[in-house]
Amino acid sequence: MKRLHKWNIPAIGAGVIVLTLAGTGMRSEAAERIVRIGHNQSTDHPTNIALTAFKEYIEEKLGDKYEVQVYPSEFLGSQTDMVQLTQTGAIDFCVASNAILETFSEDYTLFNLPYLFSSGEAYHASMDDPEITGPIFESTQKAGFKAVTWIDAGTRNFYTVDKPIESPADLKGMKIRVQQSPTNVTMMKLLGGSATPMGFGEVYTALQSKIIDGAENNEVALTANGHGDVCKYYSYDMHQMIPDILIGNCKFLDQLPEEDWAVYQEGIKIMNQVQRTEWVKAVEAAKEKAAKEMGVKFNYPDTAPFQKICAPMHQALISQHPELAPIYDKIQVHNMENVASESSKSKGGKAQ
């Protein structure tokens, strides 16, 4: 198969990339449609490994029609840039944190609520339930994109440069990076810290130059993104399980012949299977590397005081968006059926 120069993307702004990509979606000299997928993780991250499995499957089954190109590491810009590229069809898919999607459709706010899920199992059961995700995944159709699946991104916890977070009081006066989402800013304010929203790619430098005192994320950010080089305290307060979402351009998805869509769906299933296996391995490996090689200390504060402070956010969202109430209630059913065991709590929630 004839290839485009896959990694030959100069380090220039996303705007220039849009122009370059927009004209080349369908190449006249070959039959294959180039399908572009952007994400912000490194090449050895579970997301990239899983998307590579997707690429291989699609090309094995439909290689005469499609060439799938996966662009990692913010090559195509920040997540917000990539969502915009997907909206316009300059690229076909991207992985965006659910937190970012809140600014495109308020329905996504639901999955950003702190302490929404009672355990990792409840999180999986809820996100695997089409009655829960369906209406939300379709809510951005008018904006030109829709979600095709969710991707596990673990549990988000606070990590800081020079003192552990044992209780919400420890956050007072601390500048903590949060994702660019109104929910995360509200959460941080309630917990007493100073919310500093910024893109993922800027966090390492901000930590290093002491613009911020800490951040919050899953364990893999300590190693894959090097945040553990600077932050030596990781506290399992378990405030959010925010999924990543694979979104696709509506025009591209809608014009796929039915038989091709069936192959794409199978490819997405394979991608999910690979991601889930790789994710469990990646979290374990990150904890080990962070503790042994980077000198990060893991601590397990009582999560109840954090949860109590954030609790009013649930009612506030439902009052503002009563249409989300039936979905919220369905999540509560999964929560009751999947209460966290004490042993999983002591392992940091074991959200996998």
| Residues in touch with ligand GCU (CB under 6 A) | 40, 79, 97, 153, 179, 200, 217, 221, 244
Cα torsion 34, 35, 41, 46: sign: negative
Whether 87 and 93 have beta carbons less than 8 Å apart is answered as: no
The continuous run of DSSP H or E covering 97 comes out as: strand 93-97
Check: CB of residue 99 under 8 Å from CB of residue 114.
Answer: no
Report, in Å, the least distance between residue 131 CB and ligand GCU. 25
Distance in Å, CB of 256 to ligand GCU, minimum:
25
Question: Closest CB to ligand GCU among 94 and 263?
Answer: 94
**CB-closest chain residue to ligand GCU:** 200
- Which CB, 200 or 234, lies closer to ligand GCU? 200
Nearer to ligand GCU, 45 or 62 (CB): 45
Look at the block and give the residue holding tokens 């919400």: 168
Closest separation in Å from C-beta 279 to ligand GCU: 10
Closest distance to ligand GCU from the beta carbon of 218 (Å) = 6
Nearer to ligand GCU, 186 or 217 (CB): 217
How many whole angstroms from its chain centre is CA 207?
A: 21
Q: How far is 113 from 259, CA to CA, in rounded Å?
A: 38
Identity of the residue, 122 or 246, whose beta carbon is nearer to ligand GCU in the bound complex: 246
Q: What is the DSSP string of 329-351?
A: HHHHHHHHHTPPPHHHHHTT---
Question: For tokens 């991601």, what's the residue?
Answer: 275
The least distance separating ligand GCU from the CB of residue 195, rounded to whole angstroms, comes to 13
User: Least distance (Å) from ligand GCU to the CB of residue 49?
Assistant: 14
Residue with smaller CB distance to ligand GCU, 115 or 279: 279
Neighbours of 33 (CB within 10 A): 17
Supply 325's token pair.
């109430």
